[in-house]
């Protein structure tokens, strides 16, 4: 998964922890809610100034946006990564991968 999407997801997570809607946070930091939505989806490249305003608005340290290791191991994200990998498996490998997964589950 691309880093911009992970950081955007982290911003979304921190916003939700604070119980802010996108509109509320966007107003606090002085940006459009649609732009914030694009940032959270990893479609935009926020400036350092905007990261600093987001950190202030969310009452977090700037480095917390980049704490994506925990995010990268969330069950939801891992399932998405697993599905992406399975979609790339060649026909000749499907049976072997299925056997490995079954052995891990049982």
The ranges assigned to domains in the chain are 3-71, 75-105
Q: What is the pLDDT of residues 17-75, one digit of tens each?
A: 999 999 999 999 999 999 999 999 999 999 999 999 999 999 999 998 987 765 556 77
Q: Is a pLDDT exceeding 80 seen at residue 81?
A: no
Integer angstrom CA distances of residue 77 from 38, 46, 55, 57, 68: 19, 23, 24, 26, 11
The residue that leads in pLDDT, 1 or 6, is: 6
Determine the pLDDT at residue 54.
97
CATH number of 3-71: 1.10.260.40
Determine the pLDDT at residue 72.
56
Distance CA 12, CA 25 (A): 10
- The structure's pTM equals 0.64
């Amino acid at each position: 998964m691309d880093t911009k999407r992970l950081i955007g997801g982290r911003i979304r997570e921190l916003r939700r922890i604070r119980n802010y809607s996108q509109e509320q946070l966007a107003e606090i930091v002085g940006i459009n809610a649609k732009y914030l939505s694009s940032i959270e989806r990893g479609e935009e490249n926020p400036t350092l100034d905007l990261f600093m305003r987001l950190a202030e608005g969310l009452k977090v340290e700037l480095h917390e946006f980049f704490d994506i290791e925990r995010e990268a191991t969330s069950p939801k994200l891992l399932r998405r990564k697993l599905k992406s990998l399975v979609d790339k498996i060649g026909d000749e490998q499907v049976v072997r991968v299925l056997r490995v997964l079954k052995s891990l589950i049982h």
